[in-house]
């Protein structure tokens, strides 16, 4: 989807979201595919989408909202421009990830799961994906920064705040 198309979806979310679901079968079993599709295109599932998905899949908005909040990978808010995904897994924990978390929260002045008021930076808790060789790690917009120590994490946070690293 081009940027222009995306703008259109956002300008007129209702028609845009319905269009996104055009090829989806009108069955409840299409819930996860529908959520993934919308999130893939928009980066999140806007609240306006909930009744649209519900009517498409013949269920209630409450059921859709319940599912969205049940699955931690589905977001109701747009992601920040730059996201630090912090691995919460055991290998990372044993190698000091809690210290990294505390330091990043202090440097960015946001808590895990939040973003800065200007939406430029955010911290997100993620589960272990088995890249434990790199523990402790964070991913910056998907790129792994592994074997991180606390001072490197602090420098990363400061650089990001200063806008020096994308």
Taking the least distance from each CB to ligand FES, the nearer of 35 and 100 is 100
Angle, vertex CA 17, rays to CA 123 and CA 118, nearest 5 = 30
Paired strand residues for 125: 86
Paired strand residues for 144: 139
Q: C-beta of 30: minimal distance to another protein in Å? A: 7
Among 92, 108, 148, 160, binds ligand FES (CB under 6 A): 92
Taking the least distance from each CB to ligand FES, the nearer of 20 and 156 is 156
Angle, vertex CA 119, rays to CA 90 and CA 84, nearest 5 = 20
Q: Give yes or no for residue 144 binding another protein (CB under 8 A).
A: yes
Are the C-beta atoms of 78 and 122 separated by less than 8 Å?
A: no
121-126 and 82-87 beta bridge pairing: parallel
Q: Which 8-27 positions form the footprint of another protein (CB under 8 A)?
A: 27
Q: Give yes or no for residue 38 binding ligand FES (CB under 6 A).
A: no
Q: Give yes or no for residue 132 binding ligand FES (CB under 6 A).
A: yes
**d(Cα 82, Cα 159) in Å, to the nearest integer?**
12
Are the C-beta atoms of 94 and 56 separated by less than 8 Å?
A: no
**SS3 of 125, please?**
strand
Contact flags string 92-131 toward another protein, x per CB under 8 A: -xx-x-xxx-xx--xx------------------xxxxxx
Q: Give yes or no for residue 28 binding another protein (CB under 8 A).
A: yes
List interacting residues with another protein (CB under 8 A): 27-33, 35-36, 57, 59, 63, 66-67, 70-74, 88-91, 93-94, 96, 98-100, 102-103, 106-107, 126-135, 137, 144, 146, 149-151, 154-155, 157
């Amino acid at each position: 989807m081009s940027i222009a198309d995306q703008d259109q979806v956002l300008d007129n979310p209702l028609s845009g979201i319905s269009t996104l679901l055009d090829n989806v079968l009108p069955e409840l079993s299409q819930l996860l595919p529908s959520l993934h599709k919308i999130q893939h295109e928009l980066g999140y599932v806007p609240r306006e989408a909930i009744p649209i998905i519900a009517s498409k899949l013949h269920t209630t908005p409450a059921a859709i909202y319940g599912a969205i909040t049940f699955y931690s990978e589905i977001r109701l808010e747009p992601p920040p421009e730059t996201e630090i995904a912090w691995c919460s897994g055991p290998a990372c924990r044993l190698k000091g990830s809690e210290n990294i978390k505390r330091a990043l929260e202090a440097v960015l002045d946001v808590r895990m799961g939040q973003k800065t008021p200007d939406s430029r930076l955010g911290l997100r808790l993620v589960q272990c994906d088995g890249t434990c060789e790199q523990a402790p790690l964070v991913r910056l917009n998907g790129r792994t920064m592994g074997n991180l120590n606390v001072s490197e994490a602090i420098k990363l946070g400061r650089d990001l705040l200063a806008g020096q690293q994308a």
